[in-house]
């Protein structure tokens, strides 16, 4: 049973460019959440997707957008990259059913984005 | 707004010594609480979680944590440190309110070093 997989593992971009990160959830999971982890910090919630719709969003600008596909996989897009967008981007999957019992989020290994 | 405070960004213990990593939270509603571990260049792995019921929670790798509502704390302990415990540890809180659907709010993390 594959866990959460993310691609690519590393990415280097320049300021102003656009980037797309991809995530495949754990088998059987229907909800995908994205987090940004800056160096030396804890992960920060970007947004969550369920049933192909953005269900919740953290305090991130509109340059950050996402998508969820019918097979539950997800993409994170960041436009007009800034130096401050350099971070580890983590994807987590979970089941919508059971959130009220402290449903576990399973994390992928992340994509490390460097903006030069 | 919910928040998590982890006291001590870096904790160093000797192999075989007690591990104590501190976490305090603020939440307007009874929270769900989690401890995750992150090894270098890897994603987050769940150590343990508290939802309801018994306030002493046992996790993987010999770790446990106790939920103390009166102190708004959820400290992580392990009786005897092992070299393989060296990693970064994150405490997280999740709102039990229906609106949040389980978003995780993380502390800044505590890096644990284990000396031989």
CA-based nearest distance A111→chain B, Å: 10
A100 chain-B contacts, CB cut-off 8 A = 96, 98
A residues 55-114 lying closer than 8 A (beta carbon) to B: 55-56, 58, 90, 92, 94, 96, 99-110
Task: Quick: pLDDT tens for A55-80.
Answer: 889 999 999 999 999 999 999 999 99
Contact B90 A43 (CB under 8 A): yes
**Nearby residues of B2 by Cβ (< 8 Å), 6 or more positions away:** B25, B26, B27, B28, B31, B93, B95, B105
B10 and chain A in contact, CB less than 8 A: no
- Predicted local confidence at residue B1, as pLDDT: 73
Across chain A, what does the average pLDDT equal? 92
Residue B98 has pLDDT above 70, yes or no: no
Six-digit token string for B31: 């929270």
> Residue B100 is encoded by which pair of tokens?
């949040």
For β-strands A106-107 and A87-94, DSSP reports them as antiparallel
Determine the distance in angstroms separating the CA of A101 from the nearest CA of chain B, rounded to an integer: 7
CA-wise closest residue to A112 among A17, A5, A21? A21
| pLDDT tens digits along B33-63 | 999 999 988 889 999 999 888 889 999 999 9
B70 Cβ neighbours under 8 A, 6+ residues apart: none
The conformation of residue B108, written as its DSSP 8-state character, comes to: -
CA B32, CA B50: separation in Å to the nearest integer? Answer: 6
Pair of tokens at residue B95: 């709102």
3-state secondary structure chain A: CCCCEEECCEEEECCCCCEEEEEECCCCCCEEEEEEECCCCCCEEEEEEECCEEEEECCCCCCEEEEECCCCCEEEEECCCCHHHCEEEEEEEECCCCHHHCCCCEECCCEEEEEC
Comparing alpha-carbon positions, the chain A residue that sits nearest to B90 is A42
Which of A105, A106, A110, A111 best probes binding to B when mutated, by most B CB atoms within 10 angstroms?
A: A105
Query: B75-85 pLDDT, tens per residue?
Result: 999 999 999 99
The predicted structure's pLDDT at residue B40: 86
- B7-36 pLDDT, tens digit per residue, is 999 999 999 999 999 999 987 777 889 999
Measure CB to CB from residue A48 to each of B4, B36, B103 and give the nearest one.
B103
Q: Percent helix, strand and coil across chain B, each rounded to 5?
A: 10, 55, 40
């Amino acid at each position: 049973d594959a866990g959460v997989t993310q691609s690519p593992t590393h990415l280097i971009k320049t300021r102003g460019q656009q980037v797309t990160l991809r995530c495949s959830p754990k088998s059987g999971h229907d909800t995908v959440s994205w987090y940004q982890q800056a160096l030396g910090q804890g992960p920060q919630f970007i947004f969550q997707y369920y049933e192909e719709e953005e269900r919740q969003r953290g305090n991130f600008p509109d340059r950050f957008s996402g998508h969820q596909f019918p097979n539950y996989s997800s993409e994170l897009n960041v436009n007009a990259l800034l130096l401050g967008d350099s971070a580890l981007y983590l994807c987590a999957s979970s089941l919508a059913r059971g959130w009220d019992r402290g449903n576990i989020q399973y994390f992928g290994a992340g994509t490390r984005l460097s903006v030069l | 707004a919910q928040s998590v405070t982890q006291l001590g960004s870096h904790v160093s213990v000797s192999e075989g010594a007690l591990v104590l990593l501190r976490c305090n939270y603020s939440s307007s509603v009874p929270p769900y609480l989690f401890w995750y571990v992150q090894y270098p260049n890897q994603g987050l792995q769940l150590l343990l979680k508290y939802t309801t019921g018994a306030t002493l929670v046992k996790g993987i790798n010999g770790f446990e944590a106790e939920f103390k509502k009166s102190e708004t704390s959820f400290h992580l302990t392990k009786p005897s440190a092992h070299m393989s415990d060296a990693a970064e540890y994150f405490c997280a809180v999740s709102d039990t309110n229906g609106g949040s659907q389980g978003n995780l709010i993380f502390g800044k993390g505590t890096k644990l070093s284990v000396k031989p």
